[in-house]
Amino acid sequence: MEKFTRLTGVAAPLPMVNVDTDMVIPKNYLKTTVRTGLGRHLFAEMRYEEDGSERADFVLNKPAYRQSKILIAFENFGCGSSREHAPWALLDFGIRCVIAPSFADIFFNNCFKNGILPVVLPKAICEQLIADAERGANATLTVDLDAEELIRSDGERIAFAVEPFRRHRLLQGLDEIGATMARASSIDVFEDRLAAHQPWRASVLGQ
């Protein structure tokens, strides 16, 4: 998993509440178990016409936001079904950070498993950031996970908080398996100690 430390770029404004996972990645694209290739289907039903042509008025089709790595929305982002394809599609498009007043729990957890930083901020601040983002290429936003702050284009710093272990994992680029393997030596010591005190376990476990 790619490390998340500091990210600077133009943020895409999506001033909507209850953006569910079926909007993020419609159900007809869920047959794959491969994490790549889903970015072109991100927000497909809002992004494309029935004939496959782009809708010029959708934010990610506008020139200023085609390379956006940050998305700003309103309450309850990622609600609906628990599909992990939603963060896969965001990440494959290039989005590494989503900012909103609240997130659905499963989507929120899935973000951290896939190297995406979900930032929770009050709605009033999200409204300010969306207003900034609507200026397009004239405004950039910096997300500094190490310092736990956003930096607006005018230099204002906005603090946010991330649970320490989740923050550590993103900074180190560790998914759940990677975080476990980082403790491999301690696990080996524990297993050796347990085997010494309970030698009968080897025969029970067929070792």
pLDDT digits (tens, 9 = 90+) for 19-44: 999 999 999 898 887 788 999 999 99
Whole-angstrom Cα distance, residue 162 to residue 119? 8
Closest CA to 60 of 74, 75, 70, 50: 70
Residue-level pLDDT at 32: 80
CATH architecture of 6-173: Alpha-Beta Barrel (3.20)
pLDDT band for position 196 (cuts 50, 70, 90): low
**From CA 42, how far away is CA 71, in angstroms rounded?**
12
At 158, give phi and psi (nearest 5°). Answer: -120, 120
Which of the 8 DSSP states describes residue 48? B
Instruction: For 81-109, write each residue's pLDDT tens digit.
Output: 988 999 999 999 999 999 999 999 999 99
Average pLDDT of the chain, as a whole number: 89
Is residue 192 pLDDT above 70, yes or no? no
Residues near 86 by Cβ (< 8 Å), separated by ≥ 6?
Answer: 21, 24, 25, 78, 107, 110
Largest Cα–Cα separation, the chain: 68
Cα 188 off chain centre by: 32
Nearest Cα to 70, choosing from 80, 57, 59, 79?
59
Domain range annotation of the chain: 6-173, 175-207
The predicted model scores a pTM of 0.86
